[in-house]
Amino acid sequence: MPQPNLNQIAKMAQKMQADMAAAQESLANEEVEASAGGGMVTVKITGDLQIKAITIDPDAVDPEDVELLQDMVLAAVNQALTQAQELAATRMNAVTGGLGGGAGGLGGLLGM
């Protein structure tokens, strides 16, 4: 059985680490937007999960039903978080996708 090329594995690991750092940095500049209540509450969040803006339509503010507004804000924030996490997972999978399953992308280097 051929020996793995450790230099090649180390170079691949360094490249993947650099690619992951670049992907994480780009996530900080990408935004997703989610809304609730038919657009009455809108949340913008970055791919690295920083909330950038929460917009509330003045018509959503009903002093008699503050609970509804709270529910809409909560729903919009949770939806935005989910979208941002999906964006991050997509970006990271693009970087690490070659390593899926067993020896994955390293199979050729390991003589498998």
Q: Which of 39, 55, 43 is nearest to 82 (CA)?
A: 43
| Inside any domain, residue 35 | yes
Token pair listed for 4: 């793995």
| Inside any domain, residue 51 | yes
pTM greater than 0.75:
no
* Strongest mean pLDDT among 13-27, 35-49, 96-110: 35-49
| Inside any domain, residue 104 | no
Contact 41, 57 (CB under 8 A): yes
| Inside any domain, residue 106 | no
Contact 84, 8 (CB under 8 A): no
Q: Which residue shows structure tokens 């170079």?
A: 11
CATH number at residue 49: 3.30.1310.10
* Domain around 91: 6-97
Token pair listed for 18: 């650099």
Q: For the chain, what is the domain count?
A: 1
Q: What pLDDT sits at residue 20?
A: 84
- Given a cut of 90, whether residue 45 has pLDDT beyond it is yes
Confidence of residue 24 (pLDDT cuts 50, 70, 90): confident
| Inside any domain, residue 112 | no
Distance CA 40, CA 38 (A): 6
Distance CA 24, CA 39 (A): 29
Distance CA 92, CA 112 (A): 25
Distance CA 13, CA 33 (A): 34
Q: What pLDDT sits at residue 22?
A: 85
| Inside any domain, residue 81 | yes
| Inside any domain, residue 68 | yes
| Inside any domain, residue 102 | no
